[in-house]
Amino acid sequence: MDTIPPIYEARETKLDINELIDETNETHKPILILGKKAKAVLVSESDWNAIQETLYIKSISGLTESILAEGQTSLNECIDVKDIDW
C-alpha cells in the first residue's frame, strides 16, 4: 500500500487528488493517507463495492460454506440451464 504524507504537507508537494484517484482505479492498490491526527485509506469505488459485497456474503450464516461446497460439484452432476423448468 502506498502512503502519502499528511494533507497539509501534500499541498506543499503539489500532490494532485485526481492523479491519486486515477492511480487507485488503475492499479487497484489502496493508498494510505496520513492526517495530522488520523489516517484514511483511498480505494477505488469498484474495490469498495467488492469489499461491501464480500462483507454482506460473509454475514449470511452458512452461505460461504455452501458456495465452497457447491464449487466442488463436478460438471457431470450439474443440470444444464436449458433443462430447468422455470
In a domain, 51, yes or no: yes
**Could you tell me if 38 and 50 lie in one domain?**
no
- pTM of structure: 0.65
Is the predicted pLDDT of residue 11 greater than 70, yes or no?
Answer: no
DSSP-derived letter for residue 58 is H
Given a cut of 60, is residue 8 above it in pLDDT?
no
DSSP state of 71: T
Number of domains the chain is built from? 2
- Tell me what pLDDT residue 1 has: 82
Q: Region 31-59: what's the mean pLDDT?
A: 93
Same domain, 31 and 52: no
Q: Looking at the structure, do residues 39 and 9 belong to the same domain, yes or no?
A: yes
State which residues form the domain around 38: 1-43
Residue 84 included in any domain? no
86 found inside a domain: no
